[in-house]
Structure 1
Amino acid sequence: MITRQLSELSRADLPIAGGKGANLGELIGLGLAVPPGFVVTAGTYAEQARAWQFAEHLTAPIAARNWEAAAATAAELCLHGALLPAVELAVRDAYRELGAPLVAVRSSATAEDLADASFAGQHDTYLEVAGESALLLSLRRCWASLWTPRALDYRAARGIDHLGVAIAVVVQRMVQSEFAGVLFTVDPVDQRTDRMLVELAPGLGEAIVSGHTSGDLYHLSRPLDAGKPGAGAPAITARERRGAGRPAPSDALVHELARIGLRLEAHFGCPQDVEFAFAGGVVHLLQSRPITTLRDVELEAIPPLPPLNRMQRRLLESNDNDRFPVAPKPLDQWGFGIVLPAVAHTLQFAGFAVDEAELRASAEQVWREALVPPRARPTLRLLALPRTVAASLGHDWMGWWENEALPRILDACDLTDLGAMDDAALLRRADRIAGVLTETLGKRFEGIVGQAATLLVRIPVVFAVGRKRAPVIMGDLVSGLRTRTSEVNEALFDLSRKAVGAGPEVTGPLRDGRPDELRETEAGRAFLAEVDAFLAEHGYRESTGLFLSASMWRRDPTPMWGLLRGLLDVSEPPSEAAGQRRYRAALAEVTRAVRFIPGLGAAFAQVVERLRTAIVFRERSHFDLARLFSALQDIIAALARRLHERGHLPVPEDIFYLTRAELRSWLEGQVPSRGEVERLVRRRRATYAVVNGRWQKWAFAAGSQGGAADVLRGVGASSGVVRGRARVICDEHGFERLRAGEILVCRYTNPAWTPLFTLAAGVVTNTGGAVSHAAIVAREYGIPAVLGAAGATERIADGQEILVDGNEGLVTLLRPANAGEVAHG
């Protein structure tokens, strides 16, 4: 059959309905509330795939592990191939029999929701689908999601035959839920089998499942005799409210959900991850699958966060959220071991004493709950800090960089054939690069110390314009700067103009998110040459911080393609002249106000000019230092391939779960057995999940603040007021979701994010200040920005209408978000 009703299915129908469809049928058979619907069977997909000759088209790229080529080929067939007439007719008929309502269209692969591989997030879900044409398009997209590079890599890592996997598609009536979310019948975050965990939020649950928002957390006790007749009832033991003023469901509904979860666990025989919706006082079940992260996996010791002094806490809060949005993996600690001595050098340069033993211990850590800066003790040298800052401001740092630092960097990163080098030579090259990075970074930080002059500049600014307007004027004083960040953004905009000028043969694949298709036309190949030239010059741009495990654009241009897609609809680049005008106006206003104090106006202007020069130096040197990280990434990638080809690593990416010492010993021949390696990687993956959860939880707690439920307060970093739809972007993979005229809401930004400002009508971030990357570019582009609005990404829903007041530093939350976004589930 082409379609089957959910009510006809059970777990025995996994080969027909996939994991999701079979489980939903099983839930209906238990008498539980499940939205009605039907399944387009896996056999239908298989028949359609044969008609499209999938095996003939995909065997070669799969054999070559060329996931991008396989994905592009499959997407072309799924989205543009002719549907079999019988398939189209059957789907239309089943939809009409359902009443042609708004529906959710969910992928359901036959290898999905198994006890050892949940496939969570690998295939696509579409919500609020209306009409037969939209349903058929969503069906095609779900089929295509079986072949994304992400899904291919996931299956390959688990030894699952790609061509042997089929996909069913579940079509269900939408539940217009009051609250929705996820229940875990055991706590997978803290690895606690004695309690349950619920995360929920108002509205649809896909925003939580896909990671687009964070809900309120409920911790519930789990009866010792759970699942047995006469067992005790679960009880709420703690709540973590992540959205001030959010409505909440009744405790009775949460308790009912927990009881249902325990019933499902007893029925399926293992802990369950249950997606649910509350509507009309009823618990509706949307999915139930095994929790695969609790299969007797041992966790490694995670050092607790040590007591922090006031200085450490301030440095931690100002840096971790902004520069390190996710927790580091074990091999990333190698990078921190390179950077920490430079940080210590800077503290000593400023007048603090640093405990060297503590510094070494910190550099050798495998796991961290947060990146704690070195403990520093003030010395008498700190009294000379004003003179130190003044000397730093007066030094020609750009001259030093051009004449001394940059040549050393380029020499250390010289182009060479890594494949021709043996393991020992690669490690020696890595050590050389690390040494240059540590030394150059420490000296560069001496130049960055000069930016402490912002505190000195603020005094006459407050005197001139008052405390309320001071943040905006401070921002305007560093507007109109020509930085390396703005140069990269301009080059990317110019690249988008070349795409538009090349016509539909180039813009079509870009808009469809299939840049691999550019190789098929002459115009496309010419544009790819332009892209290669762009990446050669500007590809040293990180997306999620300077982690060794986070590839830069030149290695993984996915974020760049997302940015280009958005820039296709932008007709004009931002004007540099506007920033210059704001700078001159702000300088004139302050100098006029202090003209009664002899010499103060001229001294103020001189300090501001040097501060501007220091910021330009910061941006330029940051970009060039990224070359060193990129060169280290190239070496690690080469070593990962070798270890994988020698049979030591299950997949190359597992190298990041090794420590630096383990990597060196493996390369010297001291490799554990394959079974031990697999257990090590499995243990490290499980530990990382817990560490990253704590990292995110600590970051949220550090940034949370009180205040009215519908107003957030931050720093008015770029003046102006704008009202519009919020687009919450979690990471670089969401760049393409931003549309022109929307307000960008994100936890942090680094230079890689700033091309989005060409599209955005305004910017709101959890962290940042008047001289951060985001502030400088927002002022250059002339869009209102409120930075440092703690908790913004938690309290602003994706799609919600908000008012951004860059003059007052306020964000007002207006109407709720509309549902209907694509999600992964």
Structure 2
Amino acid sequence: MIIRHLSELSRADLPIAGGKGANLGELIRLGLAVPPGFVVTAETYAEQARAWLLAEQLAAPIAASNWEAAAATAAELCLRGALLPAVELAVRDAYRELGAPLVAVRSSATAEDLADASFAGQHETYLQVEGESALLLSLRRCWASLWTPRALGYRAARNIDHLGVAIAVVVQRMVQSEFAGVLFTVDPVDQRSDRMLVELAPGLGEAIVSGHTSGDIYHLSRPPDAGKPGAEGPAITDRARRVAGRPAPSDALVRELARIGLRLEGHFGCPQDVEFAFAGGVVHLLQSRPITTLRDVELETIPPLPPLSRMQRRMLESNDNDRFPVAPKPLDQWGFGMVLPALGHTLRFAGFAVDEAELHTPTDQVWREVFVPPRVRPTLRLLALPRTVAASLSHDWAGWWENEALPRILDVCDSADLGAMDDAALLRRADRIGDVLTETLGKRFEGIVGQAATLLVRIPVVFAVGRKRAPALMGDLVSGLRTRTSEVNEALFDLSRQAVGAGPEVTRPLRDGRPDALRESEAGRAFLREVDAFLAEHGYRESTGLFLSATMWRRDPTPLWGLLRGLLDATEPPSEAAGLRRHRAALAEVTRALRFIPGLGVAFERIVERLRTAIVFRERSHFDLARLFSALQDIIAELARRLHERGHLPVPEDIFYLTQAELRIWLAGQVPPRSEIEQLVRRRRATYAVVNGRWQKWSFAVGKQGDAADLLRGVGASSGVVRGKARVIRDEHEFERLRAGEILVCPYTNPAWTPLFTLAAGVVTNTGGAVSHAAIVAREYGIPAVLGAAGATERIADGQEILVDGNEGLVTLLRTVSAGEAAHG
């Protein structure tokens, strides 16, 4: 394809759009202000280069490292060679479609803007380009800039194959900016991770980027959780005016830029270098790329992924992408150390042998590319698995939970004055919570083993309705359940009704994304008391998995505010009655088909009912187990505060870059010098950015691949068919972007995401299965859902029209969207 609109692109499109083009597409998907435009793809450059025989003519000078000769040869071809007619026509048409405005023409190499090399300044940018002839000349010059002596030397120093690099070209409408410049989310000059740096000047930002002028310098603080709606925002701590009397933007606009920068840092997983323009009181983003100049220290060792057995791979594909959507930080291993013994107990209970050393290998490593389940070996006990599953289904797990497990959880998590405890007492409290977590979780897993009965249920279902309809009917059989997740969602919906009933003094701050403004009115303060009551009862909801570093709603209600904003326009959610009707209809259909085998229909009904009970138990116990993680997070937050006040941590949140062993040693008084601590944190932050990137790539790689360009396959987790506009929501900070009637497309879901189903007309996820949280709630709300559609968030454009078939497990990509539709969607 010669031309791709920016609104069609994402990070996954780096091979065709280059680093700059792919990142701009990602910014548009985040709903941020990006000037509209298009990309002349790297494939187009490659085709044109082949027509010019460029590689053949450059082979000799490149082999001799004669950069000047190679550059001269490339320039002659790029600037004077005949353009392919189809390329010239496509560029002219795309420019006219954009309105033939003044444009910026920017190079975007396929090795550009990566985490380990930014290529900043290596390729050309042309501004204020007007007219088709000038655009085509600028395109040629961008292609030629791939082969300048400077670019050739830069690639050679980094061992990058010259002939393996292609270049795309970004064409964007010019922003006639009042001010422009560059934001660094971490100060790269003083190597300080606790503050941000902005350099800006009146007019276009290219003068600053190219070094032709000096802008005014702003330093801003980075308080914990800054950048999240409702949290304390970055504050300007000092500024240096380079030219006396020169105009300056408002402080509010600079702080808004900083908040956007922190959001981008969180999204891309590493500190960002952001080019921007201020125009009409709006922050326009022109580029975002990793800051590579922070790498003054080497990355820590990342162990290679070990060979995986077939069973390990299947376990990984079925669970971990959904449960662990992001990579854990070093201190998160503490939590894994509590969970892994329970996992080992469960595997042995089911009939497998587990090597104890291998079970603990993950927690012995600071870093890993993906969570690898331990290798298991079947034993003779595995032959008794059907009997084990039957016994598990027959056991009263709900009674055990209410009478034994939950009282222990509530006792060990009882309220306490953490600030009055010394360090040793806090650690003892954490260890007691960990002991209860391990023991309770192991016993709970015995109850969840009963869900293996799903395989037994599927056999008669396939016999009754055929393999094609079986997935949808399996979903209907477990519809209409009253779970802890549905109770929380109903309470949240009721809270949104209270907001609507309170009038504009409450709804206006919610719609504006300013929950702090609720304190300005009596109605707002009354509503805040209702929110506090909701969080006290229902606030044990995790954001990105049960990680110690992933705060609950009760500590960080940012996702809650986003959900409330969306629910203001929601209608009454469906009752359980619809789900129960689907359940009864599915049960009747299967039992009718089984009536020729005496007793089989009755046995089938009994197993289905026990399976439904097991799912309800799983949902309830999951919620209560989150209390233990929440209590641990309270302890860690208190320890982080102390270490920060003692001058040991640059910012409190840096505690998650320590290991459990390091934390205990520090609290015992053996603290390294501050300079070593800052270097450790910088090294770990940089390493985490790489690890998290690999984690995400692995999560995508293990999914299903090879679908047609306009088709995605997944699991039909909730029956029905719906056609509508896709809204791509990548994390909990984007909840408020979903509008009623849109189709939610997201990487994964956990219980915290499911209130969005009140608004959604359908659901599509990258990961998940028919008995996941998302599937249960989607069936309850009667909306079609296709889960486990690998790559959905990359293949589906925000605002694109799609068809979701929950019966077949298919998603069809229909009409694409224009840049204007995406921006105003």
- After TM superposition, the score normalised by the length of structure 1 is 0.70
Query: 1:296: which partner in 2?
Result: 296
Mapping of residues 802-821 of structure 1, within 5 Å: 802-820=802-820
Q: Structure 1 residues 809, 121: closer, same or farther in 2, change over 3 A?
A: farther
CA contact (8 A) 1:118 1:292 kept: no
Please state how far the C-alpha of 1:809 moved relative to its aligned partner. Answer: 1.1
Please state how far the C-alpha of 1:700 moved relative to its aligned partner. Answer: 1.1
Query: 1:690: which partner in 2?
Result: 690
One-letter identity of the residue aligned with 1:379: T
Please state how far the C-alpha of 1:297 moved relative to its aligned partner. Answer: 2.1
Q: What is the DSSP-based 3-state SS (H/G/I as helix, E as strand, rest coil) of the residue aligned with 1:703?
A: coil
Please state how far the C-alpha of 1:818 moved relative to its aligned partner. Answer: 3.0
Partner Cα separation in structure 2 for residue 508 and residue 743 of structure 1: 25
Q: Structure 1 residues 748, 121: closer, same or farther in 2, change over 3 A?
A: farther
State the Cα deviation string for residues 27-61 of structure 1 (Å, max 9, x = none).
89x98412579xxxxxxxxxxxxxxxxxxxxxxxx
Q: Structure 1 residues 104, 590: closer, same or farther in 2, change over 3 A?
A: farther
Residue number among 112, 115, 127 corresponding to 1:34 in the alignment: 127
Partner Cα separation in structure 2 for residue 470 and residue 452 of structure 1: 17
The reply to whether residue 532 of structure 1 matches residue 532 of structure 2 is yes
State the Cα deviation string for residues 784-819 of structure 1 (Å, max 9, x = none).
111111111121111111111111111000111332
Mapping of residues 121-270 of structure 1, within 5 Å: 161-162=236-237, 164=239
Partner Cα separation in structure 1 for residue 386 and residue 314 of structure 2: 20
One-letter identity of the residue aligned with 1:553: W
CA contact (8 A) 1:763 1:778 kept: yes
Query: 2:610: which partner in 1?
Result: 610
State the Cα deviation string for residues 619-669 of structure 1 (Å, max 9, x = none).
000000000000000000000000000011110000000000000010000
Please state how far the C-alpha of 1:165 moved relative to its aligned partner. Answer: 7.6
Mapping of residues 605-754 of structure 1, within 5 Å: 605-754=605-754
Query: 1:767: which partner in 2?
Result: 767
CA contact (8 A) 2:128 2:174 kept: no
Query: 1:466: which partner in 2?
Result: 466
CA contact (8 A) 1:152 1:162 kept: no
Query: 1:10: which partner in 2?
Result: none
Q: What is the DSSP-based 3-state SS (H/G/I as helix, E as strand, rest coil) of the residue aligned with 2:717?
A: strand
Q: What is the DSSP-based 3-state SS (H/G/I as helix, E as strand, rest coil) of the residue aligned with 1:374?
A: coil
Partner Cα separation in structure 2 for residue 308 and residue 439 of structure 1: 28
Q: What is the DSSP-based 3-state SS (H/G/I as helix, E as strand, rest coil) of the residue aligned with 2:763?
A: strand
State the Cα deviation string for residues 334-380 of structure 1 (Å, max 9, x = none).
00010001011000000000001122332222111111111111000
Query: 1:581: which partner in 2?
Result: 581
Query: 2:523: which partner in 1?
Result: 523
Query: 1:392: which partner in 2?
Result: 392
Q: What is the DSSP-based 3-state SS (H/G/I as helix, E as strand, rest coil) of the residue aligned with 1:317?
A: helix
Query: 2:97: which partner in 1?
Result: none
Query: 1:282: which partner in 2?
Result: none
Partner Cα separation in structure 1 for residue 675 and residue 759 of structure 2: 50
State the Cα deviation string for residues 6-26 of structure 1 (Å, max 9, x = none).
x9xxxxxxxxxxxxxxxxxx9
Q: Structure 1 residues 701, 561: closer, same or farther in 2, change over 3 A?
A: same
One-letter identity of the residue aligned with 1:620: R
Q: Structure 1 residues 152, 813: closer, same or farther in 2, change over 3 A?
A: closer
Mapping of residues 466-505 of structure 1, within 5 Å: 466-505=466-505
Q: Structure 1 residues 122, 749: closer, same or farther in 2, change over 3 A?
A: farther
State the Cα deviation string for residues 156-177 of structure 1 (Å, max 9, x = none).
999995353899679xxxxxxx
Please state how far the C-alpha of 1:493 moved relative to its aligned partner. Answer: 0.1
CA contact (8 A) 2:799 2:822 kept: no
CA contact (8 A) 2:221 2:234 kept: no
CA contact (8 A) 2:725 2:802 kept: yes
Q: Structure 1 residues 796, 209: closer, same or farther in 2, change over 3 A?
A: farther
Please state how far the C-alpha of 1:747 moved relative to its aligned partner. Answer: 1.4
Mapping of residues 67-86 of structure 1, within 5 Å: none
Q: Structure 1 residues 377, 817: closer, same or farther in 2, change over 3 A?
A: same
One-letter identity of the residue aligned with 1:537: E
Query: 1:425: which partner in 2?
Result: 425
Q: Structure 1 residues 512, 349: closer, same or farther in 2, change over 3 A?
A: same
Partner Cα separation in structure 1 for residue 493 and residue 233 of structure 2: 40
CA contact (8 A) 1:390 1:450 kept: yes
One-letter identity of the residue aligned with 2:491: A
Q: Structure 1 residues 396, 122: closer, same or farther in 2, change over 3 A?
A: farther
Partner Cα separation in structure 1 for residue 749 and residue 723 of structure 2: 21
Partner Cα separation in structure 1 for residue 177 and residue 589 of structure 2: 58
Q: What is the DSSP-based 3-state SS (H/G/I as helix, E as strand, rest coil) of the residue aligned with 1:727?
A: strand
Partner Cα separation in structure 1 for residue 368 and residue 740 of structure 2: 38
Q: Structure 1 residues 394, 168: closer, same or farther in 2, change over 3 A?
A: farther
Identity %: 80
Query: 2:350: which partner in 1?
Result: 350
Q: Structure 1 residues 107, 483: closer, same or farther in 2, change over 3 A?
A: farther
One-letter identity of the residue aligned with 1:483: T
Once the two structures are overlaid, the 10-residue window that deviates more, 711-720 or 332-341, is 711-720
Q: What is the DSSP-based 3-state SS (H/G/I as helix, E as strand, rest coil) of the residue aligned with 2:237?
A: coil
Q: Structure 1 residues 470, 380: closer, same or farther in 2, change over 3 A?
A: same
State the Cα deviation string for residues 560-588 of structure 1 (Å, max 9, x = none).
00000000001212221100000000000
CA contact (8 A) 1:800 1:818 kept: no
Partner Cα separation in structure 1 for residue 730 and residue 418 of structure 2: 35
Aligned Cα root-mean-square deviation (Å): 3.6
CA contact (8 A) 1:565 1:736 kept: yes
Partner Cα separation in structure 1 for residue 420 and residue 672 of structure 2: 26
One-letter identity of the residue aligned with 2:522: E
Please state how far the C-alpha of 1:288 moved relative to its aligned partner. Answer: 8.5
Partner Cα separation in structure 2 for residue 474 and residue 290 of structure 1: 45
Partner Cα separation in structure 2 for residue 106 and residue 803 of structure 1: 43
Q: Structure 1 residues 736, 427: closer, same or farther in 2, change over 3 A?
A: same
CA contact (8 A) 1:123 1:151 kept: no
Gaps of 5+ in 1: 1-6, 8-25, 38-99, 125-143, 171-205, 215-270, 277-284
CA contact (8 A) 1:111 1:165 kept: no
State the Cα deviation string for residues 86-124 of structure 1 (Å, max 9, x = none).
xxxxxxxxxxxxxx9885879846764874479999999
State the Cα deviation string for residues 403-439 of structure 1 (Å, max 9, x = none).
0000000000001100110000000000000000000
Q: Structure 1 residues 680, 115: closer, same or farther in 2, change over 3 A?
A: closer
Please state how far the C-alpha of 1:388 moved relative to its aligned partner. Answer: 0.2
Q: Structure 1 residues 512, 692: closer, same or farther in 2, change over 3 A?
A: same
Partner Cα separation in structure 1 for residue 592 and residue 240 of structure 2: 73
Gaps of 5+ in 2: 1-101, 103-119, 131-171, 199-217, 242-246, 251-260, 277-284
Q: What is the DSSP-based 3-state SS (H/G/I as helix, E as strand, rest coil) of the residue aligned with 2:386?
A: helix
Q: Structure 1 residues 720, 107: closer, same or farther in 2, change over 3 A?
A: farther
Query: 1:340: which partner in 2?
Result: 340
Partner Cα separation in structure 2 for residue 365 and residue 110 of structure 1: 37
One-letter identity of the residue aligned with 1:570: A
CA contact (8 A) 2:184 2:273 kept: no
CA contact (8 A) 2:704 2:789 kept: no
Partner Cα separation in structure 1 for residue 447 and residue 368 of structure 2: 29
Please state how far the C-alpha of 1:703 moved relative to its aligned partner. Answer: 1.2
Query: 1:793: which partner in 2?
Result: 793
Please state how far the C-alpha of 1:713 moved relative to its aligned partner. Answer: 1.1
One-letter identity of the residue aligned with 2:359: L
Q: What is the DSSP-based 3-state SS (H/G/I as helix, E as strand, rest coil) of the residue aligned with 1:164?
A: strand
One-letter identity of the residue aligned with 1:511: R
Partner Cα separation in structure 2 for residue 150 and residue 404 of structure 1: 38
- After TM superposition, the score normalised by the length of structure 2 is 0.70
CA contact (8 A) 1:519 1:525 kept: yes
Query: 1:329: which partner in 2?
Result: 329
CA contact (8 A) 2:195 2:222 kept: no
